[in-house]
């Protein structure tokens, strides 16, 4: 199968919510020599994005959204080790504590950000989803995190990012806070006093490098 057909196949398994086939399609793509990031951006995520748009307009329904997200998660299980393999020979650049804020269970974007940060040489502690502000603070303190990463996908839960940042500042924790998630913007990040915002996982890696004082490489 050529690259174009494989990308179409990746799009299809997510768009159609063919959960049971997603891992096999990801494996086939890697065997054919496709780059794991390309698989995400041009295949699986492109479809998830489209399902999200159609869910927003009422053309698709929650069970279809759930199936599409599950298909992406299965594909990620195959792609992640390939991303992580890049990590082994690199020196740790810093420790990032990452999570999705309270009330929000969207995890795919955060997971990809975590994978790429790991591949870039950061030590990543992923707290999961629906993480209360207090947990972010406790874990950042006990792990002496360099960076705290807050993901929010709902306009209603973005407000939790503000709360975490306020509490981090109040506690005087020496940690840089970066925020992200589909509804988050640079101006929102500035308004809530974040140290940085990134619109996707690649930009998140550049941002994290800047926040720990490492110059851009390559």
CB 2, min distance to ligand B12, A: 25
For residues 74 and 110, which CB has a smaller minimum distance to ligand B12 in the complex? 110
For residues 8 and 41, which CB has a smaller minimum distance to ligand B12 in the complex? 41
C-alpha separations of 121 from 6, 39, 87, 127, 144 in Å = 30, 21, 6, 18, 17
CB 102, min distance to ligand B12, A: 10
Query: Is there a contact between 157 and 185 (Cβ–Cβ < 8 Å)?
Result: no
CB 123, min distance to ligand B12, A: 15
For residues 31 and 190, which CB has a smaller minimum distance to ligand B12 in the complex? 190
CB 180, min distance to ligand B12, A: 2
CB 3, min distance to ligand B12, A: 21
For residues 144 and 185, which CB has a smaller minimum distance to ligand B12 in the complex? 185
Can you give the binding site for ligand B12, defined by CB under 6 A? 45, 48-49, 51-52, 55-56, 62, 65-66, 69, 103-110, 112-113, 149-151, 153-155, 178-183, 198, 200-201, 204
For residues 8 and 199, which CB has a smaller minimum distance to ligand B12 in the complex? 199
C-alpha separations of 5 from 31, 80, 97, 193, 200 in Å = 14, 22, 38, 45, 26
Q: How far apart are CA 29 and CA 31, in angstroms?
A: 5
The label of the residue with tokens 């053309």 reads 59
């Amino acid at each position: 199968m050529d690259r174009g057909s494989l990308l179409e196949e990746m799009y299809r398994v997510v768009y159609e919510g063919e959960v049971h086939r997603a891992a096999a399609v990801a494996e086939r793509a890697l065997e054919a020599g496709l780059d794991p990031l390309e698989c995400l951006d041009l295949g699986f995520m492109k479809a998830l994005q489209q399902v999200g748009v159609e869910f927003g307009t009422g053309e698709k329904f929650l069970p279809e959204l759930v199936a599409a997200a599950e298909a992406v998660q299965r594909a990620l299980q195959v792609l992640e080790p390939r991303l992580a393999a890049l990590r082994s020979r690199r020196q740790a650049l810093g420790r990032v504590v990452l999570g999705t804020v309270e009330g929000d269970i969207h995890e795919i974007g955060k997971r990809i950000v975590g994978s790429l940060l790991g591949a870039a040489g950061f030590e990543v502690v992923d707290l999961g989803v629906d993480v209360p502000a207090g947990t972010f603070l406790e874990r950042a303190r006990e792990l002496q995190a360099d960076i705290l990463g807050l993901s929010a996908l709902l306009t209603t839960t973005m407000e939790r990012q503000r709360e975490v940042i306020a509490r981090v500042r109040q506690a005087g924790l020496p940690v840089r806070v970066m925020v992200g998630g589909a509804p988050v913007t640079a101006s929102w990040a500035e308004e809530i006093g974040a140290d940085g915002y990134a619109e996707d996982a690649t930009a998140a890696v550049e941002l994290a490098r800047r926040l720990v004082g490492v110059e851009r490489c390559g």
